[in-house]
Amino acid sequence: MKKTIVIFLSAFLSLVSSSHASTIKGIHVDGFITILGDQQKEDSLLNYAQFNGVNYLALYDVFQVHTSASLTNTISAQPFADFIKKAKQNFKIKEVGVIGENFWFFNTIIDVYNQQHPDTMEQVDVYSLEFAFWNTVFVNPGGVLCTTYLTPNALPCDTNGAFSFYISQLTQINALANSSGRTSETFLSFFNQQQGDTISKSVDRVLLTNYISNYSTVYTQVKQRLEFLASGLTSIDVVPMMNADLSFLSSWLDTSVMIEPYIDIKDSLFTEPGTWKQYINLSGVQWFSYSMLPHNIGLSAPSDYKDTVKGFYVDGFITILGNIPKEDSLLTFAQDSGYNYIALYDLFPINAITPLTNVITAQPLAAFINKAKTTYNISHVGAVAENFEFFRDVINVYNQQHSDTLEKFDVYNVEFEFWNTNLTTPGASYCNDYLIPNGLSCDETGAFKYYKSVLTKVDSLANANNVISETYVGWFNQIQAVQFNNLIDRIMLHIYVNNYNNIYSISQQRFEYLASACIEINTIPIFSAEPNFLGPWLTTNSLDQPCNDVQDSVLMDAGMWNQYINIIGCQWFAYSFMPPFPAVSISENGLNEYAVIVYPNPANEFIEITITNQSAIINKATIVSYTGQYTNELKTAADRIKFNVQEIPPGVYTLRLEMTNGLVVTKKIVIVH
């Protein structure tokens, strides 16, 4: 498994610390025998896993499942196969592991089951050995491991005999797993340096118990054992295993996210002076166990990407929120241009003035989001921020305080430009605000480390609350792409060009980088409407064209990498730069014969209307209020007219253009004063 990935990515990617492309976010599933075959319980488990961003399930009770319904019989094994396939296909589970305590179980049951199911979506991916050789209750005379394994194999009933049996089983399981493209894994608690040296050379990854009640000891409790595992000078994947029992971290989980121990231990390793740390590849976090984890999350499926995203960033939102004409102008523009997603800037200064964690002062925002969704066909509203704390302490609290989904944020958008030296170098804002306080270097390396930490935490927070996680990225290398592309639900890739002919050539290599981990990633190209980019181009072209052209170019690319790029829409930066109604085939009554430019819109003093199709000209232009109480008419015979609107009351109107050939084109306009 490991070697295949490294070869595919090319030689230099061996520098990447993890041979497993994705960060493991896993749970041990106890009571699986009571879940399998009960569709409601299966879906509850899998929904819970998806909501919390879990991508790995380690299953207990599989031997008991086998004794009641043989897993080496394809008919009786069908419920097991169906569960694994459903977990992977529908609930974003990337690995399913089976827990056992001896080689015989994996060799004669699990591996045979895998051989009988050629569809990898139905196969077990991880062979996980759990044999507590350190537990004297189990291994001493009379203990279950002594009676079942040690005595029959003429081994002493003590920790030495138990370790000998354990290593023999682990070595065989590792060889079996690697021969069939699986991952070998072991649960590990207490051991000495010599044992750690032997274990690290006998398995792909270690689940290292970190059963603590005081979270401040999250690193100190595992440090020595990590050193023991590194003593053999062999790289080993390690996944800290946390305990959600009431006597451990149950209460801590009420206000924290499941991935946090991984982030904090990895940060501690980064600052660890010992050279031994180079052999420890921290690969994620595992939680024991499903029945103990807080189950206070709804069970409906989270938001997905069934609809193509068509969105734009709203800059200057602080000057819009609470100003009803400006709000309606923004939302009318969005609706008329067919947008279904808006990403909001300025939420930090808005919160400073009118706290968003107070349901009273947050009411204007709640009303705006509700109006956007119920009246203007906006399906998703995103919050843009640059640090995890703002999402956790403000945006997520706001969402929790508003039970009506029509008032909630649907997307958490991380914008942290780790590549931007104007922000990361000494004295710059990122350096002062984030890097120095977190003991990180004020350069791209430190900024990227901070960025990964933010992505991981925001993704876990979003998934736990049925929200989409999203990030905007500009410039990055292949190694960076491999490290961040699976930390988030979807990636917005900026394609800022002033020459339209370059939109694919400037982005192709970065698409390849995103695909290089061989994991499908939802991607949204971002284009800029600023005057120094595509602003001038938009005056005569469609907002949709860049997205369509980039998507077509990716699909037609000869490289095999394109199978991992799933372009799900298009995003524009930003509202204040966008021509309100760029030249497109416009007609709200279904006529597509005329390309109509209406500018400015919203309008204050005048609107200028231009027909670019010369086969007909305007005969009469009429502005009518939605209530029909106001009408203003201009008769002309031209393909370009200027309409004075200074005396027209502010509001939303219909512009009706009667053409010389008898056809009628209509368009919504907004007038503000």
* Predicted local distance difference test score (pLDDT) of residue 542: 78
Tokens of residue 146, six digits: 């002594």
Is residue 4 domain-resident? no
Is residue 200 domain-resident? yes
* Predicted local distance difference test score (pLDDT) of residue 551: 83
CB 186 within 8 A of CB 167: no
Is residue 502 domain-resident? yes
**Strand positions, DSSP E, 426-533:** 468-473, 490-494, 521-528
Q: Please say which residue of 292, 323, 348 terminates a domain.
A: 292
Please check whether residues 588 and 569 belong to one and the same domain.
Answer: no
Burial, 140: exposed, middle or buried (Cβ in 10 Å; 0-12, 13-18, 19+)?
Answer: middle
- Look up the CATH number of the domain holding residue 664: 2.60.40.10
Tell me the C-alpha distance between 622 and 634, whole Å.
6
Please check whether residues 573 and 588 belong to one and the same domain.
Answer: no
Q: How far is CA 6 from the centre of its chain?
A: 24
Please check whether residues 325 and 363 belong to one and the same domain.
Answer: yes
Is residue 36 domain-resident? yes
* Predicted local distance difference test score (pLDDT) of residue 394: 96
Domain carrying residue 419? 309-577
Is pTM beyond 0.95 here?
Answer: no
Q: Please say which residue of 544, 577, 610 terminates a domain.
A: 577
Q: Which residue has the tokens 């497993």?
A: 20
Tell me the C-alpha distance between 545 and 522, whole Å.
19
Q: Please say which residue of 292, 321, 346 terminates a domain.
A: 292
Give the residues of the chain that fall short of pLDDT 50. 1-21, 296-306, 581-594, 626-629
Please check whether residues 573 and 589 belong to one and the same domain.
Answer: no
Q: Which amino acid is at 7?
A: I
Q: Total domain count for the chain?
A: 3
Tell me the C-alpha distance between 286 and 55, whole Å.
10
- Sequence-distant contacts of 136-143: CB under 8 A, at least 24 apart: 138/162
- 159 CB-near residues (< 8 Å, 6+ apart): 133, 134, 136, 139
Query: Residue 658 — left, alpha, or beta (φ > 0 → left; ψ -120 to 50 → alpha)?
Result: beta
* Predicted local distance difference test score (pLDDT) of residue 319: 86
* Predicted local distance difference test score (pLDDT) of residue 331: 93
Please check whether residues 341 and 270 belong to one and the same domain.
Answer: no
Q: Which amino acid is at 364?
A: P
Residue 614 carries which DSSP code?
Answer: T
* Predicted local distance difference test score (pLDDT) of residue 181: 93
- Look up the CATH number of the domain holding residue 189: 3.20.20
CB 94 within 8 A of CB 56: yes
Query: Residue 275 — left, alpha, or beta (φ > 0 → left; ψ -120 to 50 → alpha)?
Result: alpha
Is residue 5 domain-resident? no
Burial, 477: exposed, middle or buried (Cβ in 10 Å; 0-12, 13-18, 19+)?
Answer: middle
Nearest to 242 by CA among 205, 215, 273: 215
Please check whether residues 421 and 518 belong to one and the same domain.
Answer: yes
Please check whether residues 272 and 362 belong to one and the same domain.
Answer: no
Tokens of residue 541, six digits: 């072209």
CB 626 within 8 A of CB 666: no
Please check whether residues 341 and 461 belong to one and the same domain.
Answer: yes
* Predicted local distance difference test score (pLDDT) of residue 643: 82
Please check whether residues 539 and 599 belong to one and the same domain.
Answer: no
Query: Residue 242 — left, alpha, or beta (φ > 0 → left; ψ -120 to 50 → alpha)?
Result: beta
Is residue 522 domain-resident? yes
- 448 CB-near residues (< 8 Å, 6+ apart): 418, 480
Tokens of residue 665, six digits: 């084109």
Q: Which amino acid is at 35?
A: I
Tell me the C-alpha distance between 472 and 390, whole Å.
17
**pLDDT tens across 157-209, in order?**
999 999 999 999 999 999 999 999 999 999 999 999 999 999 999 999 999 99
Pairing of strands 341-344, 309-314: parallel
Tokens of residue 27, six digits: 């749970």
Please check whether residues 40 and 111 belong to one and the same domain.
Answer: yes
Is residue 477 domain-resident? yes
Please check whether residues 328 and 348 belong to one and the same domain.
Answer: yes
Q: Which amino acid is at 533?
A: F
Pairing of strands 280-282, 309-314: unpaired
Residues in the chain: 673
* Predicted local distance difference test score (pLDDT) of residue 295: 58
Is residue 8 domain-resident? no
Please check whether residues 361 and 443 belong to one and the same domain.
Answer: yes
Tell me the C-alpha distance between 607 and 19, whole Å.
59
Q: Which amino acid is at 183?
A: T
**pLDDT tens across 285-300, in order?**
999 989 888 754 332 3
Tokens of residue 467, six digits: 């929200």
Q: What count of other Cβ atoms lies within 10 Å of the Cβ of residue 660?
A: 13
Tell me the C-alpha distance between 589 and 161, whole Å.
83
CB 631 within 8 A of CB 618: no
CB 435 within 8 A of CB 417: no
